[in-house]
Homo-oligomer: A and B are copies of this chain.
């Protein structure tokens, strides 16, 4: 099969400070579909277009951030195979039994060298296409929320991004799409990696503290949907970090904004196709501003400092 192994970003468990307020916000402002609550009080969501049962899990905690980010793999055999390869690479793995997350099969959990917890899983209940598998209608947006298409990627901050990249590229089959170099011209400040033909399925930024979240990103279908998202954010007094603007890196259009707990989220649109035979693009330190925010070619203060 042409696309095998790790398929795509599948779920993110996000820590929130007030789960009731957050659940309302993720439903009414972000426009996700509520998919239930589990015995431990976690609240589940998916986007309208996603066919698997859940992609965003909120957990009440006393500090914001992301507990783990999970990727769906092709099947059970792939899961076992990648588990073995991770161990062979020196990564300690753990098995989380099926059902620990609602409607989700067994997960292989491990820490990458930046301290983040990543998961792989092969099974999550298919709850169907929004308008059905037979003669589906177009799924026109008909509610007040932003209503993204899918969970798209995350960008995480930590120390050993070289080690983390090796896990993704050497073990999990990801490809390097773009990178930003530090002043020395050698060390990576950041790398963008894909497991499919998307511009990125994860990104890593070098940072003094491990296990930090920069943002979880959701895909929108057009630049006009990005404008609608910004309007909805303002109307709901959502704190916008940056945007609407464009990234030089990936060419995608973007808004960075914060959920009520201070977790940065992104609505992202576009981004070119990248295949594993292609060369990566490199940004030098003097042009990192244009790489991150193409229009004004300057990093804002928050980009390198505000994480959860």
* Interface presence of A305 (CB below 8 A): no
- Asked if A137 meets B235 with Cβ closer than 8 Å, knowing A224-B223, A224-B224, A244-B244, the reply is yes
Count class of interface residues, chain A = 35 or more
Partner pick for A291 among B135, B230, B287, CB 8 A cutoff: B135
Instruction: Give Cα A196–Cα B275 distance, bound, in whole angstroms.
Output: 9
Partner pick for A295 among B5, B233, B248, CB 8 A cutoff: B233
As a 0/1 sequence over residues 64 to 100 of chain A, the CB contacts with chain B under 8 angstroms (1 = contact) are: 0000000010110000000000000000000000000
* Interface presence of A283 (CB below 8 A): yes
Identify the stretch in A17-25, A36-44, A170-178, A205-213 within 8 Å (CB) of chain B at 4 or more residues.
A170-178
Partner pick for A297 among B133, B196, B234, CB 8 A cutoff: B234
Contact between chains at B74 and A135 (CB < 8 Å)? no
The residue on B at minimum CB distance from A140 is B231
Identify the stretch in A54-62, A107-115, A142-150, A159-167 within 8 Å (CB) of chain B at 4 or more residues.
A142-150
Instruction: Give Cα A40–Cα B244 distance, bound, in whole angstroms.
Output: 43
The residue on B at minimum CB distance from A180 is B135
As a 0/1 sequence over residues 1 to 28 of chain A, the CB contacts with chain B under 8 angstroms (1 = contact) are: 1111111100000000000000000000
7 A-B pairs in the complex with CB atoms less than 8 angstroms apart: A2-B3, A133-B282, A135-B248, A136-B281, A137-B234, A138-B235, A243-B295
- Asked if A245 meets B248 with Cβ closer than 8 Å, knowing A138-B235, A277-B74, the reply is no
Contact between chains at B224 and A275 (CB < 8 Å)? no
The residue on B at minimum CB distance from A282 is B134
| Majority SS at the chain A contact face | loop
Instruction: Give Cα A24–Cα B246 distance, bound, in whole angstroms.
Output: 26
In the assembly, how many copies of this chain are there?
4
From residue A291, how far is it (CB to closest CB) to chain B in Å?
7
Instruction: Give Cα A149–Cα B232 distance, bound, in whole angstroms.
Output: 18
Contact between chains at B197 and A283 (CB < 8 Å)? no
* Interface presence of A101 (CB below 8 A): no
Contact between chains at A138 and B246 (CB < 8 Å)? yes
Q: A133-B281, A150-B273, A230-B295 are in contact. List 6 more A-B contacts (CB 8 A).
A: A2-B172, A133-B280, A135-B284, A140-B235, A196-B197, A222-B222
- Asked if A253 meets B276 with Cβ closer than 8 Å, knowing A140-B232, A270-B221, A281-B134, the reply is no
Instruction: Give Cα A98–Cα B149 distance, bound, in whole angstroms.
Output: 42
Within 8 A of B (CB), among A186-228: 195-198, 221-224, 227-228
